[in-house]
Amino acid sequence: MTATPPNSAASPIVGIDLGTTNSLVAIAGWPVASHAGAAAQSPRVLTDAAGTMLVPSTVRFDLDDPSAAPIVGVLAVAGAAAHAGTTISSAKRLMGRSFADAAPDLAYLPYHVVAGPGNTARIALRTANGESGRSISPQEVAAHVLHALRMRASEALGCAVTRAVITVPAYFDEAQRQATRDAARLAGLDAVRVVAEPTAAALAYGLGAHNAAAGAGAGATGTAGSERAVVVYDFGGGTFDVSVLRIVAGGSDDSSNAIADAFQVLATDGDTHLGGDDIDHALCELLLAPSGLSMAALTDQARRMVRDAAEQAKIRLSASEQTEVRVEIAAGGEVRTIVRTITRGEFEELVAPLLARTLTSCKRAMADAQRDLAGLAISAVVLVGGSTRIPLVRREVEAHFGIVPYTALDPDLVVALGAAVQGAIMMRQEAGLGRSAVLLDVVPLSLGLETTGGAMAKLVLRGSTVPCRASEMFSTSVDGQTSITLTVLQGEREMAADCRTLGTFYLRGIPPMPAGIPQLRVEFAIDTGGILSVTALEQRSGKRLAVQIVPNHGLTQQEVERIEQESFTHARSDMQRHRVADLLANSKLDLHWIGRQHTKHADKLDAASRAGLDLAIAELKRFVELATTASRGEHTSMLDANAMQRAKEELDRASMRLHEIAIAESIKGMKPGA
């Protein structure tokens, strides 16, 4: 008996793990045509006719016939050495990144990368003799992989598949997430939600843990309402993520399928440029070292062959104590044979520095999560990603957390299964069957606006749970201003120059008003898919601007680490610079308004009041000049901000009598009955 879809009028929502090395598509809550009698609620990875689950994220293009459909997956991998210049793998590491960001990878990629529009990374396809062909974006490569997964799902489910929950590394920034959505659109898929990979893994873990509870009890999440803390350690082919989550156990849903009720990400950390590919790079250097060759000096074909040999050696060394590598490549006009026996000990020495970087991320994530954990101990460490099959990784993770890692779920499949569960939850909501789980992710870096004086006003703080909203009031600093510039920033520093600009927008058509009079309400909204929307409303005129942020390219992990570290290193000086910038902007506005009243009514003040006011104006002007000079040279630490604040407050007091006179004169000038 085949289960009935939750809403026959709706299309299925599949779960897709778009990986650096391999990709998968899974389904939950929908009958599988090729698995008659299977429970509709059971998440499962969809396979091809041969029963193969993994689809290598590798695509081969045809330069001779651009209209020919690219070859995707296993067949592309099989012919990679013969078609090195047109066979693209690990494109995920280039998505949403600039050409400069990609520079460290270029020597190891068996294809040519060039700078495209906006300095974004583009792949230049090349013929076997090295002639350049057309250039394509990493998103186009990903789109062909997604299209292959979509076709697999459509065949398995017996209906057209057009919607998917797609996973991304937790530390993917706005540009990288947007690149993933673009790839989905090119593949004919609506990415109904973009979910962080560790969050999806935790969702699959929550389901698996409940199922395990019926047996030996290992991994059970406990009674309804109970809480547990889980670490998801995701070491994949191209990226590393670690997330600390609180899982609140729920009861059984309407189909008697017990699953966790809430998954809240407390902290996340990681490296979007660290994974199995980097282990392969280290092995390539080890293989080439005795011959004096380097990857950068090899042809596309030779690089592909050495890289493939390194990858296979890595896989074998996870099961064997040693392996022999033999590869023949053309180099320097001759055929060179590389033969090398690699022991597991040598392999682990290569892996150790990369592994240490993952554990450093784990420490940072745990430190960020401590406040929200509130004494709740970590009860499980879930391993995700093919690189966690390496014995050294499992040993070191166990030693670091003091917990034997949870490996009941296949690390290659767990992310896709979790994405499928999220798809089933969304289908249940559409069918009006209630919500059986809630995913609460976090913002990896703070978001804000540049203010007058070059400061960064943070609206959404790093670690905020999404979906979220935040708003703040702003105004103008120049009389008659009819346009307001909104520069959206991402980062942890206090000054705009030290943060990354995501986009600059303009609210035009504001009626000219005196400085400080316009009332601009700016709201940031981040939805469950991580999309940032910015709304600006000038409340007096009703002028409105609404945009979604689509940055040109993403952050490198080195930039992320620099942003975080510099926010601590420069915290004191940054706060000083921010304070001076705010004082400068507000003081200029005060001097502007008081100066206008002074011109009109100063002659009505008594001598003592006028002398005090003139002295206060001169003193604050002196500080404004000092602050302006200091800000230009970024030497704001040399300025006494407390003294400037006192000067501003003294002017406020000294100008009170002037304001009283100005108000009285204004009342006198009003006509009776007005």
Cβ atoms < 10 Å from Cβ of 206: 29
| Neighbouring residues of 318: CB distance < 8 A, sequence distance ≥ 6 | 389, 390, 391
Order of strands, edge to edge, in the sheet holding 121-126? 112-115, 121-126, 132-136
Q: Are strands 483-490 and 447-450 parallel, antiparallel or unpaired?
A: antiparallel
Q: How far is CA 175 from the centre of its chain?
A: 8
Backbone angles phi, psi at 214, to 5 degrees: -70, -20
Q: Are strands 227-235 and 240-252 parallel, antiparallel or unpaired?
A: antiparallel
CA contacts within 13 A on the Cβ side of 312: 12
3-state SS of 656-670 is HHHHHHHHHHHHHHC
Q: Is 542 helix (H, G, I), strand (E, B) or coil?
A: coil
How far apart are alpha carbons 159 and 396 in whole angstroms? Answer: 45
Cβ atoms < 10 Å from Cβ of 622: 12
174, 234, 261, 311: the catalytic one is 234
Tell me the DSSP string of 350-362.
HHHHHHHHHHHHH
The DSSP 8-state label assigned to residue 38 in this structure reads -
Whether 419 and 17 have beta carbons less than 8 Å apart is answered as: yes
Q: Using CB atoms within 10 Å of the CB of residue 399, give its burial: 0 to 12 exposed, 13 to 18 middle, 19+ buried.
A: exposed
- Tell me the two tokens of residue 432: 């009006």
Q: Nearest to residue 72, comparing CAs of 95, 54, 49?
A: 54
Q: Nearest to residue 400, comparing CAs of 424, 372, 427, 364?
A: 364
- Tell me the two tokens of residue 188: 């004919």
Told to judge if 92 belongs to the known catalytic residues of this protein, a careful annotator would answer: yes
Told to judge if 17 belongs to the known catalytic residues of this protein, a careful annotator would answer: yes
What is the b/e burial string over 224-261, where b = at least 16 CB atoms within 10 angstroms of the residue's CB? eeebbbbbbbbbbbbbbbbbbbbbbbbeebeeebbbbb
Q: Is 165 helix (H, G, I), strand (E, B) or coil?
A: strand
How far apart are alpha carbons 318 and 301 in whole angstroms? Answer: 26
Told to judge if 234 belongs to the known catalytic residues of this protein, a careful annotator would answer: yes
Whether 442 and 265 have beta carbons less than 8 Å apart is answered as: yes
Please name the helix (run of DSSP H) or strand (run of DSSP E) that holds residue 59, with its range, or none: strand 59-60
101, 173, 182, 197: the catalytic one is 197
How far apart are alpha carbons 536 and 531 in whole angstroms? Answer: 17
Whether 163 and 30 have beta carbons less than 8 Å apart is answered as: no
The single residue listed with the structure tokens 């004082």 is 583
Q: Nearest to residue 517, comparing CAs of 541, 486, 487, 543?
A: 541
Told to judge if 590 belongs to the known catalytic residues of this protein, a careful annotator would answer: no
How far apart are alpha carbons 193 and 426 in whole angstroms? Answer: 9
Strand partners, 342: 323
Tell me the DSSP string of 227-292.
EEEEEEEEE-SS-EEEEEEEEEEEEE-TTS-EEEEEEEEEEEEEETT-SHHHHHHHHHHHHHGGGT
17, 140, 271, 498: the catalytic one is 17
92, 314, 543, 648: the catalytic one is 92
615 to 472, 593, 618, 655: CA distances (angstroms): 35, 16, 5, 11
Left (φ > 0), alpha (ψ -120 to 50) or beta: where does 603 sit?
alpha
- Tell me the two tokens of residue 618: 């001169």
Q: Which residues are catalytic?
A: 17, 92, 197, 234
